[in-house]
A = this chain, B = another copy of it.
Amino acid sequence: MTAQETTTQPAGKPVGVAVLGMGTVGTEVVRLLRENADDFTHRIGGPVELRGIAVSDLGKDRPGIDRALLTDDALSLVNRDDVDIVVEVIGGIDYPRELILAALNAGKSVVTANKALVAAHADALSEAADNAGVDLYFEAAVAAAIPVVGMLRRSLAGDRIERIFGIVNGTTNFILDAMTSTGATYEDALAEATRLGYAEADPTADVEGHDAASKAAILASLGFHTRVNFDDVYCEGITRITAEDIDAATKVGYTIKLLAICEKITGDDGEEQVTARVHPTLIPSSHPLASVSKSYNAIYVDAEAAGSLMFYGNGAGGDPTASAVLGDLVGAARNKVHGGRAPGDSTYANLAVADFGDVPTRYHIDMLVNDRTGVLADIATRFSAKGISLRTVRQEEQERHSHARLIVVTHQAREADLRDMVAELEASEDVQKVSSVIRLDG
C-alpha cells in the first residue's frame, strides 16, 4: 500500500481566509498574515489570501487595513465561495457559534480562539466538522501559544494521560502574584491588574474562575478522550482570598495559586472517572508552579510513559494568541492544499464525570477556637469520627486569651466529607470562626 498525496485544491489556487473579529488578536493575525505571507506560502505549499474581515463597527479607523476587506456582514463573508478557512476571534458564545456552525456546514475549516464556546458547545461543533469532513482547530483557546492542545491531540496520542494541572489564567495569576509579592489586598491587586490591562473592565470571567474552567473542560476532554463540558467543572474563583490568607500561607512555605486540575479517579464501582476543577490551591513554595509570576501560564501533563511534562509561557495577549491561531491556520490550510484532516474530536473513552463530592481533595482550614483545655482533642476527634486524617495541626497563641488560632491540614479525603466537616466545625460551639478553607495540592 502506498499513501497518495491528495490535493483537494487545484495546484497554485490560493487558500481563502476570512477573519471574524478585529480586536487585539484579530489585528495581530491580519498583520502577521500580511507580513509573513511568503513564509506562509512555503509552509503551506500554496498562498493564503485574506478575503475579508468581519467587524462590528465599519466606521472605526483601522490604520493599514484595506477598507475593501472590511464588512459588517460576517455571515455573508463566511458563506463566500472563495473562503476556505474561517478564523473566529470575536469572543462571546451565541453569535460566534452561529457563524462557526455556518462555516463548518458549508465545508470551511475553522480556527477559533474561543474557549467559552468550545467548552460549552464542543459536541455541536465537532459533529458539524465531522459531517463536513473539515477541521476545527482551537489551540489558542487554552493558554494561547503554549501548545498544550496540539500536544494532547498529537504528541501524546500514543500515551495515557493521568493528570493535567496548572495555571491557565493570566489575570488571576497576576493578582495572586501581586498579593503574594507586595502584601496587597485582593481589591488593590485587581485595581492594579485592571490599570495595566491584565484584567478586563468586567473581570468576572477571570476572577470567578470561569475562564479557567472553560480551559479545564477542554484539557480534560482532550486528555481523557471524554466529553467534559464547562458545566462539568467545579469552579471557585479568587475573590475570597484575603491578604491574611496569603500571609498565613507564605509563613508556612505555601503559595496560593488558582489551579485547573483535571484527573482520572477510580469510582466506587471500580470504574475510571474523570474530574476537572478550578479553585485556589495551596502549593509548596518550592513547587515550580509557585514561581510562575505575573500573567504567565504553566501546565503540567502527567502521562503513563512520558512521565511529567511541563509547559510554560505567556498564556494570553494579542501576539501569543495570534501565534497559536496562525499555527492552526497553517495546519488547516495545509490540509486544504494537500488533503487530510487534523485529528478530530476523540471522546471514545466516554468516561463518567465524577461527582465533585466524591473526588479526593485536601483541605487547609484556618479557624479560631475557644481557648479551653481539651478543645484540640475534641476537634481532632470530630475529624477522626468522619474518617479524615490530619497531616498537621498548628495552634497559635492569640493576644486575647479567650480564643486560639488552629490551623489544620488534612490528608486526602472525599470532598463531600471535608465539606461536611467544615459545616460541622462552623456549627460547633467550640469554634468561634472558620476564617478560611483552601484546598492543597502538590
Chain A residues engaging chain B, CB cutoff 8 angstroms: 1-6, 8-9, 28, 32, 36, 39-40, 42-43, 81, 84, 107, 109, 132-135, 139, 144-147, 150-151, 154-160, 225, 288, 291, 303-314, 319-320, 322-331, 334-336, 338-341, 343, 346, 348-349
Contacts and interface: CB of A to CB of B under 8 A. Distances in A.
Contact of A107 (B1, B320, B327): B1
A288 B310 CA distance: 12
Contacts of A291: 288
A24 B192 CA distance: 53
A335 B341 CA distance: 8
A302 to B, nearest CB: 10
A306 B329 contact: no
Question: How many identical chains are in the complex?
Answer: 2
B331 A154 contact: yes
A4 B107 CA distance: 9
Contact of A156 (B9, B160, B323): B323
Nearest to A143: B309
Given A154-B331, A338-B341, A107 B2 contact: yes
A430 to B, nearest CB: 44
A336 B1 contact: yes
Contacts of A319: 304-307
Contacts of A151: 147, 150-151, 155
B346 A2 contact: no
A158 B325 contact: yes
Given A42-B346, A305-B322, A307-B313, A145 B132 contact: no
A304 B139 CA distance: 17
B307 A158 contact: no
A2 B134 contact: yes
